[in-house]
Amino acid sequence: RSPSHHGRMHVIQVEDLGRPQTRRGMVLAGPVLAALVGVVAAVGLALQNSTSPQQTELPAASLVHSSPPLLDQHVEVPVPPPLPRPLDLAGVARPRPEDWTVRQRAVVDAIHWSWQGYRKYAWGSDELQPLTMDGHDWLGVGLTICDSLDLLWLIHADDELRHARDWVDERLEVRQDNVVNFFETTIRVLGGLLSAYALTQDTVYLTKATELGLAMQPAFLSKSGVPFSDVNLKTQEAFNPSGSSSLAEATSVQLEYKFLSHVTDNPDLRRLSETSMRAVLEAGKVMGGELADTGLFPMFISPSTGKFSSGERVSLGARGDSYYEYLLKQWLITGCTEPEYLVEYQRAVDGIRKHLVRTAGGYTYLGEVLDNGKRFSPKMDHLACFLAGTLALGHAFGADATGESTHLALAEELADSCIHGYTMTSTGLAPEIWWFSDAQGPYIKPNDAFSLLRPETIESLFYLWRVTKQDKYRDAGWQIFQAFDRHARVETGGYAAVENVTFNPATEQVSHRNKMESFWLGETLKYFFLLFDDQDTLPLSHFVFNTEAHPLPMWEW
Ligand code: DMJ
């Protein structure tokens, strides 16, 4: 079960559950089949009961698994699914606290400090405002709670997790008259709930995830199949306030919906996910101009026409980023059994290498192209630093078809540049955006000098550490962690975004923004914890992390 082993390693085998497997074309008499259905259901329920003391009912929609009708001879006999489908739990283990490394302990302290601040001042709100010591609502779904569940589980914060779980069970109201961003709610809330379910087997999380997933489902129902950007959770009206959906948003909900489809045995969700991906890929095929056949797409696409907006920027940063990430991860999550995503991923990486990768001042970076590919802009968002990790992950699974470890080499160069984004400032924190010039290499413009405590560089260090085992990635991560701890930690609880990553020379102090983003706990601190972990927790051979760092176990359809 190494990452280089391709697929076929994910779902609990039916033989493992002590029941016979039906095969295509096999003949089963009615009574035998009925008995099998009973065994499978019992095994599914026993599996839940043995791992989760607190069970709740699933929504009715998930419970429709009546026995199939009696069968004639020579028909196909599917294996009936249990309720819900069992997951591969082989890689589910928390690192033993007695074996935590010293660095991991420091991260756990930061997690508790962040959580305590949120719990004390902002409980139930989406985010902590650490300076005013209160909460702020954005999606109105207890965002920080849902984004942190798997992390609390991971670090054995059992009291905190129980408290959070009870909030989800008793207070998280899904069907509220509230318009939410489909992508953000999917990656952070749906992803967080699904991951918590997968790790704990507590069906409270799956119940809420199902309710939420179904409430947002109309976002898939556009004329073209390209998802809408917004949806009202009560009225289920889906729409786009600003015309187009962003590329990243339209194509970074599929892991979560496919997992939900799998685990609740709801084929509609799989179909909708696949239709949405196909709509975007088809739009790419009919796109003309310099970008045709490059695997690179502009950052906006219209749900009503199903076409990309012409003249828009191509970026691996904001609004483009996770499209490229989910191509690889959609291939991985079903055990490398859907090669069309691999092909698109390889095409995209070729396009990135050809059109976006440049070097300045000895640093390799990812720029952006404008005007349908005619103009290059030497600007790189911190967000684009995720690509180093994605390339390393793809390399480990054999996604690099060049035969020369080209993807890994690029990953290492990009990681060096992202690390430099931190080391080049007086605080040791990276800005939101870097610019590059041949004369001076990377530099920062004043408006881009803030830090939201984003995860992408740490995410890439985590993957590069797992794949190459080079200490330099952990050491760089430790320097960055200490810089966050020094400059973003707030005395009264929590951590705050930093206004300017360069010191005020008079005071050597940074000023803060009144915001602790949910991804600080959901992603940044989680990747730090895993980067410093010696126990191969949540092995990459079994888990795919969604774009908000929520691990989902792989399966095959
Ligand atoms: C996260 O919500 C996700 O990683 C997303 O894909 C991009 N932006 C933030 C973190 O920076």
* pLDDT given at position 35: 37
- How large a percentage of the chain has pLDDT more than 70? 85
Test site for ligand 1: of 138, 256, 383, 525, most ligand atoms within 8 A of the Cβ = 383
Using pLDDT thresholds of 50, 70 and 90, give the confidence band for residue 43. Answer: very low
To the query of whether residue 15 is one of the catalytic residues in this protein, the response is no
Can you give the pTM of this predicted structure? 0.86
Please give the pLDDT value at position 49: 34
Is 547 annotated as a binding-site member?
A: yes
How would residue 507 be classed by pLDDT, with cut points 50, 70 and 90?
confident
- Local confidence band at 137 (pLDDT 50, 70, 90 cut-offs): very high
Q: What is the pLDDT of residue 83?
A: 61
Measured from the Cβ of residue 486, the count of other Cβ atoms closer than 10 Å reads 12
Higher per-residue pLDDT: 505 or 444: 444
What would the pLDDT profile of 310-327 be if each residue is shown by its tens digit?
888 999 999 999 999 999
Scored b (16 or more CB within 10 A) or e, 445-460 reads eeebbbbbbbbbbbbb
Phi, psi of 69 (to 5 degrees): -65, 165
Q: What does the block give as tokens for 358?
A: 């440049």
pLDDT over 70 at 483, yes or no: yes
The mean pLDDT value for 410-424 works out to: 98
Active-site annotation holder among 147, 432, 533, 548: 432
Higher-pLDDT residue of 68 and 349 is 349
Q: What is the best residue among 521, 523, 524, 527 to mutate for testing ligand 1's pocket, by most ligand atoms within 8 Å of CB?
A: 523
Residue 454, ligand 1, Cβ within 6 A:
yes
Taking the centre of ligand 1 as the mean of its atom positions, its distance from the CA of residue 36, in whole angstroms, is 44
- Structure-token match 């405590």, residue found: 453
Within 13 Å of residue 76, how many CA atoms lie on the same side as its CB? 2
pLDDT band at residue 77 using 50, 70 and 90 as cut-offs? low
pLDDT score at 127? 98
**What confidence score (pLDDT) does residue 2 get?**
36
If you measure from the C-alpha of residue 460 to the centroid of ligand 1, how many angstroms do you get, rounded to a whole number?
Answer: 13
